[in-house]
A and B are shown apart, each in its own frame.
Chain A
Amino acid sequence: MLLTITSTHQPAGDLGYLLAKHPDRCQTFDLSFGKAHVFYPEVSDARCTAALLLDLDPVGLVRGRRAKGAPTLGQYVNDRPYVASSFFSVAIAEVYRSALGGRSKERPELVDQAIPLQARVEPLPVRGGEPLLRRLFEPLGYEVTATRHGLDASFPDWGESPYFTLELAGTLPLRDLLSHLYVLIPVLDHDKHYWVDKAEVEKLLAKGERWLADHPERDQIARRYLYRQPRLAREAVARLVDEDGVDPDETEEKQARREEKLEEKLSLDEQRRGVVLAALKEAGARRVIDLGCGEGKLVRALLDDTHFQSVAGVDVSPRALEHAERRLKLDRMPALKRERLKLMQGSLTYRDKRFAGYDAACLIEVIEHVDTPRLEPLERVVFEFARPATVVVTTPNREYNVLFEGLPEGRLRHADHRFEWSRAEFRAWAKRVAAVYGYAVRFLPVGDVHPEHGAPTQMGVFTRDGEAR
């Protein structure tokens, strides 16, 4: 909420001219979300410090801002009034408009002159920690000092807060310092108070025109600045690069990278889908229900293959189904394809008549999201009542976890996993289920098989008794 800029350029008082704010005064500016104050804690010929203090209205902040769905307490009580966030960028742009734009009535010659400057921002929320801070500011020529604050001195075990005091020192034009801060504060915070639209691309390009194209973290900056809008981020990067003209070396390099990517092994996710499709075809299934379809990747693969006459996707999360609808472009899907598809909300712990009548059911990376005591109803819902001829189940192989770098021992792959089974555990479960409900089961590895730890994913294909394989 506080930015101080200190100049040691002689005479230091010129800072007042550059900022167009008088050093002897304490001025207040009205902004839509509160007030901003500018004052000078220190004014001498040797040093001059201007402070910009943001004074957000914590109650007004949430009024008239109705989020979709049920409100949460976090919407009402949060750090926004106290930190340097995108609100701060808006304040810089409003209060220091001429300085940011490179205009000065009294000292036009100073506008583009590199002068010794220090800036201090606090508290600055940083999602990404000190390394990110350094990666963003050091390439711009600053000497960076970052001080991290604890969450609560009374509870040291709660650890560090995300808040930093950031100190920058460098010799550069003031307008550049301001534009760096304007763009990078929200990038560090990674949370925008307003909805990101196309106008943001223009703002980013305008503010970053003098430096962003060459910044090594350019892509990340664009991505985070254009929060949650990857398409806009790509557009921004494209236009940045385009403005520089085409760089043949760059193009060459890009091609090489693309090739590399192509040669990269199929992702585990894709491999899994491949194996599932193969198992379904092998079983002769034409009507398939994907139980726990999530955002619908398998559903899409099934739909794209006309071998499958009827495809149903079921998920318990209405949000996931909405995503699936969007990803599948349901509104634009040709009628013939649309007719083959059914998406519905359902739960695997509730029996559901709508699950019956399919040749095969898939539970792809689903069972590990169910608490073990509730696997029993799941078994009955699928194997006793839906009772398709074929059931394909995949789940992580815990033994393989040691091979994942960055996965601490004993940790599961996903925070929502209730368990991860070894191969023996999965097989024991699958065999019991098969015996109880009258199925035969066979097992397949998915992904590269390690001689000792097996494949990353394990699959069981259940075939109802009396059905030919």
Chain B
Amino acid sequence: MKITIPEVCLVTLIGPSGSGKSTFAAKHFQPTEVLSSDVCRGLVSDDENDQTVTKQAFEILHFIAGRRLEARRLAVVDATNVQREARAPLVRLAREHDYLPVAIVLDVPPEDCHARNKARPDRQFGPHVVRQQLSQMRRSMRGLKREGFRHIHVLRGVEEIEAVEIERTKLWTDRRDERGPFDIIGDIHGCFDETVELLEKLGYEVSGMPDSPMARHPDGRKALFVGDLVDRGPKSPDVLRLVMAMVEADAAICVPGNHDDKLLRKLWGRDVRLTHGLAETMEQLESETDEFKQKVADFVKSLVSHYVLDDGRLVVAHAGMKERLQGRASRRVRQFALYGETTGETDQFGLPVRYDWASEYRGRAMVVYGHTPVPEAEWVNGTICVDTGCVFGGKLTALRYPERELVDVPAHKMWYEPVTPLVPTEGGPEAAERAYQDLLDIADVAGKRIVTTRMRGTVTIREENAAGALEVMSRFATDPHWLIYLPPTMSPSETCREGPLLEHPREAFAYYRKNGVPRVVCQEKHMGSRAVLVVCRDAAAAAERFGVRAGKQGVVYTRTGRPFFPDDADEAAVVARVAAAMDASGLWAEFETDWICLDAELMPWSAKAQALLRGQYAAVGASGTVGLERAVSLLEQAAQRNGESAALRDRMRARHQRVERYVEAYRRYCWPVQGIEDLRLAPFHIMATEGAVHRDKDHVWHMETIAKLAASDSGFLLATPFQVIHVTEPESEAAGIAWWEELTAEGGEGMVVKSADWIVRGRRGLVQPAVKCRGREYLRIIYGPEYTADEHLERLRRRSLGRKRSLALREYALGLEGLHRFVEREPLYRVHQCVFGVLALESEPVDPRL
């Protein structure tokens, strides 16, 4: 004999002591699937037969069973379960987790039980115990169905129990092995002609018109109907005929809608009010045969609440499906699939307030659904409603999966007058002026988080860093919709071991050589302020792609996500100028994009760093100059009388000179700025455009493409000078060093050395994508005016780069991950988690001079 149980469910074994439950469980189930009350007694009291801890033992058993069901795992309860009171909590538990409770009854004659018990030294109780249990069990067996058990298997006698086989079947909702491609079609409501048009537009071959319509895609694509085939529209029977034929021929899959469900109940003769367009359907069905009506009833009855498809990547349900209920089976799941959920509140019209599950959705599966007519199908957190109100005069929409393309045909007419206009939807008052629905949730970012990146595995964000980032993000950052990328920090090259320098290209080249990178790109390091630009072709494109309010064409923000310009007009001017250069250079067309994300340096430094300059750099320069100048002149006088003062005078003179050089160093990066005419922008990475994160191109490509962009507005955009160096060729390396010396001799900031390819994996994981090599004079700004004095330099050499380098890689991985997610049109929160992560990592304490 073979019995079948669902792959995931709560199996309740029922049988008196000695009926062989444990043996049975061990034979048919994994040890981890079986939860035995005896074992739980033992866990509590070290004695598996201690009846005084029964209550505690079952608490543990129920807890574990609950956790297993939560994790979508089968659980088998090995306890006598002969009384209804013992079974009730198990039925409740299964329902709570939306899985079916299954009963397997082991009905064994009392003699056999008693014989088994006798063989066990710890079960020396009289035969009356078993007899009593058996009689309790038999008395309550008829009520098992009423108690809520969905599958009940009664095995009678030892032989039958021995012989039985258990087969586990997939849940009805589980169609993960169906991988598409699909065309998911929204609520039809009897709009047959539009359906045929849409199918044809999607490439289906329609045949059998008009009496036995059928459609099939030549490439084997399947149509997926999200329900509400009937009611309100003109040709519900034709729609049913078509869909039933397609489903039967395996050319389509269908889930039920609430209207279909209601029709079924009507066909069953239930007392259903003929409202919301059901009257029209019934009228249209009048001319159909009883056989057809019976077929319709059978068809609708056979429909499964929702489906999980394509290895769990796609979920289709009429009214949507929240993550927790996906792939489960219960009345609640069916209710949700048909009607969605309400909050329990009512709005000012007395209508129930619909629970906006999609705005909270954080599941990884794409959910496609209908039910609530919307003017346009729009993505919300990886979910999309494809009911565009065809029957109300909107359109019939299909989503191509996995392409994510929307295809639609307009309604021929308004077939049915909507109660409320198509927009706003019937629902709460919030629908009146709902903005974007992808609101971020504190649970997306707070606390310790682990973000999985495609480049470097997982990156951990510590709780206290997240707390700091939350403040910065909330108070100072630009609108998160724009914030698709934050740049990573960059480590300097290893420290020179001797000589008058801290940093030199020699070490940078050696680093890449050592890590098996033959070719590097050296870029002049501009001394300005880091700026990330997100620029769109126009404001409309921005609103469309970034989900922001119309108006802005783009943003410029700092490396911590703050708006770069306090004044919106300045930002708009810079964005417009870059957009114009994109136009002029033809790059919009070349990239087939309406937006671009650039990583850049904006000069002069003094434009952004005014406060820092006045409060710190100029202050240090001014105070050092005043004091040391005077000290030197006084010591000059004193030196005329004693030699000790002369030595001190020379020392102070040297200090004074170093301070003067410091002042020169910072002055070099300052020039007065009146308006954006005085600014210069030097982009150095084209981070991303529509459909692409450009990390797959080497840095030479980036430099050359940017040069093309810069050529179309050379008054504002700077192409960064660069050199390609082969680190295994001494001559090439020498040329690189000579170039650096030339750049820094005049006080230039230095250069950045990058592996030619963006991503290089060495023996010990990712290689630093870039290291900086800063000039001697520039470093005065960082290390202080006097760092070049021998006694200071020696101490400063003992700096350690490990932390900085690890941080740089983690931020790099997160930054690119965010861009990939954005480009792949993942929901806002998924992009935001990466950006937020970079910001959080930036608050880790690392020597800021590195």
Instruction: Name A residues whose Cβ lies closer than 8 Å to a Cβ of B.
Output: 1-2, 4, 24-26, 28, 37, 39-43, 51, 53, 58-60, 63, 69-74, 76-79, 81-83, 122-123, 125, 149-152, 154-155, 157-159, 161-163, 165, 316-318, 345-354, 369, 371, 373-374, 376-377, 380-381, 384-385, 416, 432, 435-438, 465-466
Contact = CB atoms under 8 A, between A and B. Distances in A.
B622 A150 contact: yes
Contact of B783 (A41, A77, A384): A77
B783 A24 contact: no
Interface string B622-651: 111011101100110110011011001000
11 contacts: A2-B631, A73-B849, A77-B783, A82-B623, A82-B628, A163-B619, A316-B471, A317-B475, A347-B470, A350-B474, A438-B347
B495 to A, nearest CB: 15
B88 interface: no
A369 B621 CA distance: 35
B471 A318 contact: yes
Given A25-B642, A78-B620, A316 B470 contact: yes
A142 B186 CA distance: 90
Contact of A149 (B348, B471, B622, B672): B622
Contacts of B787: 59
A83 B625 CA distance: 10
Given A39-B638, A350-B444, 4 more contacts: A2-B634, A24-B641, A149-B622, A150-B622
Contacts of A1: 627-628, 631
B785 to A, nearest CB: 8
Contacts of B471: 316-318, 347
A41 B844 CA distance: 50
Given A2-B631, A158-B614, A161-B623, A77 B784 contact: yes
A157 B360 CA distance: 52
Given A37-B648, A39-B648, A122-B626, A58 B619 contact: no
Contacts of B430: 384, 436-438
Given A39-B648, A59-B796, A152 B622 contact: yes
B663 interface: yes
B618 A151 contact: yes
Nearest to A74: B616
Nearest to B481: A373
Given A73-B782, A77-B620, A384-B430, A123 B626 contact: yes
Contact of B626 (A53, A163, A317): A163
Given A72-B848, A82-B627, A349-B474, A152 B667 contact: yes
B843 interface: yes
A294 to B, nearest CB: 13
B442 A350 contact: yes
Given A42-B637, A465-B348, A125 B440 contact: no
A69 to B, nearest CB: 7
A3 to B, nearest CB: 11
Contacts of B620: 77-79, 82
A373 B479 contact: yes
Contacts of B648: 26, 28, 37, 39, 53
Interface stretch (B199-207, B237-245, B309-317, B431-439): B431-439
Given A42-B637, A438-B347, A346 B442 contact: yes
Contacts of A40: 638, 641
Contact of A26 (B441, B474, B642): B642
A12 B787 CA distance: 41
A445 B649 CA distance: 68
Contact of A376 (B435, B795, B848): B435
A83 to B, nearest CB: 5
Given A51-B638, A318-B471, A69 B627 contact: no
A128 B580 CA distance: 49
A90 to B, nearest CB: 17
A150 B659 CA distance: 16
A348 B630 CA distance: 55
A316 B638 contact: no
Given A4-B634, A71-B845, A376-B435, A352 B429 contact: no
Contacts of B331: none
A77 B616 contact: yes
A59 B435 CA distance: 54
A351 B439 contact: yes
B429 A59 contact: no
A255 B634 CA distance: 53
B442 A351 contact: yes
A1 B626 CA distance: 10
Q: Majority SS of interface residues in chain B?
A: helix
B227 interface: no
A151 B627 contact: no
Contact of B475 (A83, A345, A369): A369
Interface residues of B, number: 77
A299 B524 CA distance: 54
Contacts of A438: 347-348, 428-430
Contacts of A37: 648
Given A376-B435, A436-B430, A24 B642 contact: yes
B67 interface: no
Nearest to B476: A371
B154 interface: no
A41 B635 contact: yes
B654 interface: no
B76 to A, nearest CB: 34
A350 B474 CA distance: 8
A347 B473 contact: yes
B623 A39 contact: no
B247 interface: no
A207 B634 CA distance: 29
B475 A316 contact: yes
Contacts of B667: 152, 154-155
Given A82-B627, A317-B471, A350-B444, A26 B645 contact: yes
Please give me the 6 A-B residue pairs with the lowest Cβ-Cβ distance, nearest first.
A26-B644, A41-B637, A347-B474, A82-B623, A438-B429, A151-B618
B38 interface: no
A353 B435 CA distance: 20
Contacts of A353: 442-443
B474 A316 contact: yes
B795 A79 contact: no
Contacts of A384: 430
B584 interface: no
Contact of A377 (B439, B621, B622): B439
B637 A122 contact: no
Interface in B461-504: 467-468, 470-471, 473-475, 479-480
A58 B623 contact: no
Contacts of A385: 439
Nearest to A348: B474
Contacts of A345: 446, 467, 470
Contact of A351 (B441, B475, B670, B783): B441
Contacts of A349: 440, 474, 480
Contacts of A346: 442
Nearest to A162: B619
Nearest to B633: A41
Contacts of B670: 155
A158 B642 CA distance: 41
A308 to B, nearest CB: 24
Contact of B845 (A69, A155, A350): A69
Contacts of A83: 623, 627
Contacts of B156: none
Contacts of B634: 2, 4, 39, 41, 51, 53
A58 B795 CA distance: 12
Contacts of A2: 627, 630-631, 634
B268 to A, nearest CB: 39
B44 interface: no
Given A77-B783, A163-B623, A346-B442, A318 B468 contact: yes
A165 B629 CA distance: 12
